[in-house]
Structure 1
Amino acid sequence: MKLYDTLIIGGGQAGLSVAYFLRRYKLNYLVLDDHQKAGGSWLETWDSLKLFSPTEFSSLSGWGMPKGINEYPDKAEFISYLEQYELRYKIPVKRPVKVLSIVKENTIFKVETNKGVFYSKTVVSATGTAQAPFVPDYPNREVFLGTQMHSSEYRSPGNFTGKNVLIVGGGNSGAQVLAEVSKVAQTQWVTLKEPSFLPDDIDGRYLFNDATDTFHGKTGTTNAGTKATLSDIVMIESVKEARGRGVLHAKRMFHSFYEKGVIWEDGTKSTYDMVIWCTGFRANLKYLAPLGIVVNNRIETTYTRSVIEPNLWLVGYGSWTGFASATIYGVGKTARQTAKEIAALFD
């Protein structure tokens, strides 16, 4: 039986960030990733996805992403960067390995996978949210006869040509999918509240600067004087182009579904062929359920460290594991502290 000091579950940006910082210590660690190749959840995004920060603000710790021909990197460029990052730092990754469950045997974690059992003294859960898409349970959703998909299943607009499409969700994914699909289909955007658009000259770099201030206990605004949050919509070129076509107009949520479409709050009906749910994700923690510490799909933590199971850390799930920790630029801060805490156990 080989016993690792640390197993990192997930080989996306969060897992690689933790592995990068663990390199500083003399620990025996391994990353388990369930994808066929490097790229993490970015492999499962739509084809035309653009990051909403320039290259220098779309990089992990240690090595900046090489500049491309565009100011804002696309999906393929970022996946290539993650692949090069693994190679550059010789990060030990075993794939494809899907973790099925984790249990505790005395003081050791037993990690059961589709490729056998692994044992470790500590575990970092870095599986993020991409494998747990969230679709709200709207009344009569099951009776709708059209096609429904989550944004995680969307790849390109080809299948939507000539259709009548309802796009639900007011974040960056909703705006970017709307911008693309509206070129080939009749679209209606639906959001819980009026979408919040950042000024054209404000992009992700300012959001991450604000995140850094929050991390250090400060509050403030972007250098343009605008209070911004990570839920605001960044006006990348495709979204600006959609604004020029007049399609960035959202209605508030409908009341329920019926067979051919949706019923609005005033009782009127609209027919749709397809619904795209751009409604976000939830933490992927199913394999940790046997530990008995998951409550309402959360694990109580002090920063990234589990309170009940102190040899377990959770990185990259969002604000409850460190402000902006689910972002490329923000995850490094939480990863650095996590690696430091793990190393302290072996001093």
Structure 2
Amino acid sequence: MTQRADVVVVGGGQSGLAAGYHLRRLGVDFVVLDAQSAPGGAWQHTWDSLRLFSPAAHSSLPGRLMPAQQGETYPDAGHVVDYLADYEKRYDLPVQHGVQAEAVRRDGGRLLVEADSGSWRARAVISATGTWSRPFVPAVPGRDVFTGRQLHTVNYRSPRDFAGQHVVVVGGGNSGAQIAADLALHGDAAVTWATRRPPRFLPDDIDGRILFDVATARRRALDAGRSDTGGVASLGDIVAVPPVRAARDAGLLHAKPMFTRLTATGVQWADGSRSDADAIIWCTGFRPALAHLAPLGLRGPRGHIPTAGTRAVAEPRLHLLGYGDWTGPASATLIGVGRPARDAVRDIAQLLSS
């Protein structure tokens, strides 16, 4: 059976909920299709010790401040899940959980969203599927011969799973630093941290509040035709959240240059030396989860869909939300997604009225 809605939002994590808030405020007929079986988006699947980069009040979606977590300056993932579940309920957002959107196609004057539970015909679609479901692992030589355990950030949960093992953590970003610190501080594991370039820690007094302001200033400068300020990347790569700071100050976070290949029993370094390893944790990032949009034929360089703001250039009935700076400054963050969500919904409201 094919149902109808003016707007279909694909994805019920933080970006989908932010869009839903603004759609609800404007009285638009909409539905949110979410592949997750429960509220909370990807935050339900993170590692146990993960912390936000910002205090709760600076990690909020539009309309509702995140309450502080007792005893914590930087809330953990469980607190975020509770906040998103409450947000969805508070604004009575029509989220259908456990519904996997499989394809979006043009269907005359509408877009047809095909899901595993049926189809929806919509006048506009907001894609907010994020990146968590598309972990990226680089094509390092020897990946297929290593006999130990290989996992990505998405599969890591706790240092208890690696007691007594030698673990190589790969990646010089926040996930790599946090997981290396978690293993070094709380586990009974030997840890080697491998990065492609020396890690760049941001100053200890910088957190997500400042990063959001910097990202926004960069976007405004580019939109005004001014020179690129470099944005967040000009400051560093790693936010020194308390566990990372503790491991760094204790001398436990020493990065080695990236190894050149994996062997059957470990890794080989550029000088030819080898190190045995029981596990490799690839903290090497993600790619946008856009397979459902493939029938529209919109993909451009680097797998991105060219956009003007959040609107797809070649399909104005489609908006992309929360995939990174190319869909709005800091739009992959809780506090950053509010503005592009508002702008996307305003644009859609104009489309519907015409």
Task: Give the TM-score range, shorter chain.
Answer: over 0.9
> In structure 1, how many angstroms separate the alpha carbons of the residues matched to 2:27 and 2:202?
45
> In structure 2, how many angstroms separate the alpha carbons of the residues matched to 1:320 and 1:346?
24
Q: 1:262 to 1:76 in 2, by over 3 A?
A: same
The Cα of 1:218 is off from its aligned counterpart by 7.9
> In structure 1, how many angstroms separate the alpha carbons of the residues matched to 2:198 and 2:108?
52
SS at match of 1:216: helix
Moved more, 227-236 or 3-12: 227-236
Indicate the residue corresponding to 2:63 in structure 1: 62
| Amino acid corresponding to residue 191 of structure 1 in structure 2 | T
Structure-1-length-normalised TM-score: 0.95
User: Which of 200, 205, 213 in structure 2 is aligned with 1:201?
Assistant: 205
Contact 2:6–2:122 (Cα < 8 Å) also in 1:
yes
How do 1:279-298 and structure 2 match up within 5 A? 279-295=284-300, 296-298=302-304
Matched, 1:113 2:115: yes
Indicate the residue corresponding to 2:348 in structure 1: 342
Matched, 1:216 2:220: yes
Matched, 1:125 2:127: yes
The Cα of 1:202 is off from its aligned counterpart by 1.7
> In structure 1, how many angstroms separate the alpha carbons of the residues matched to 2:172 and 2:76?
21
Indicate the residue corresponding to 2:90 in structure 1: 88
| Amino acid corresponding to residue 154 of structure 2 in structure 1 | S
Cα deviation code 1:260-297 (max 9, x no counterpart)? 11111111111100000001100000111111112342
Contact 2:203–2:240 (Cα < 8 Å) also in 1:
yes
Indicate the residue corresponding to 1:27 in structure 2: 28
How do 1:124-203 and structure 2 match up within 5 A? 124-182=126-184, 183-203=187-207
| Amino acid corresponding to residue 24 of structure 1 in structure 2 | R
Moved more, 40-49 or 239-248: 239-248
Indicate the residue corresponding to 1:267 in structure 2: 272
The Cα of 1:228 is off from its aligned counterpart by 4.6
Contact 1:179–1:242 (Cα < 8 Å) also in 2:
yes
Structure 1 alignment gaps of length 5 or more: 220-226
The Cα of 1:231 is off from its aligned counterpart by 5.9
User: Which of 277, 283, 301 in structure 2 is aligned with 1:278?
Assistant: 283
| Amino acid corresponding to residue 159 of structure 1 in structure 2 | D
> In structure 2, how many angstroms separate the alpha carbons of the residues matched to 1:102 and 1:206?
37
Contact 2:147–2:264 (Cα < 8 Å) also in 1:
yes
Q: 1:228 to 1:313 in 2, by over 3 A?
A: closer
> In structure 2, how many angstroms separate the alpha carbons of the residues matched to 1:300 and 1:231?
27
Number of aligned residue pairs: 341
User: Which of 313, 327, 332 in structure 2 is aligned with 1:326?
Assistant: 332
The Cα of 1:340 is off from its aligned counterpart by 0.4
Q: 1:228 to 1:48 in 2, by over 3 A?
A: same
Indicate the residue corresponding to 1:302 in structure 2: 308
Indicate the residue corresponding to 1:222 in structure 2: none
The Cα of 1:197 is off from its aligned counterpart by 0.6
| Amino acid corresponding to residue 50 of structure 2 in structure 1 | L
Structure 2 alignment gaps of length 5 or more: 224-230
Indicate the residue corresponding to 1:79 in structure 2: 81
> In structure 1, how many angstroms separate the alpha carbons of the residues matched to 2:219 and 2:343?
12
Cα deviation code 1:65-85 (max 9, x no counterpart)? 011211111111111000111
Contact 2:130–2:332 (Cα < 8 Å) also in 1:
yes
Structure-2-length-normalised TM-score: 0.93
Indicate the residue corresponding to 1:14 in structure 2: 15
> In structure 2, how many angstroms separate the alpha carbons of the residues matched to 1:9 and 1:136?
28
Indicate the residue corresponding to 2:242 in structure 1: 237
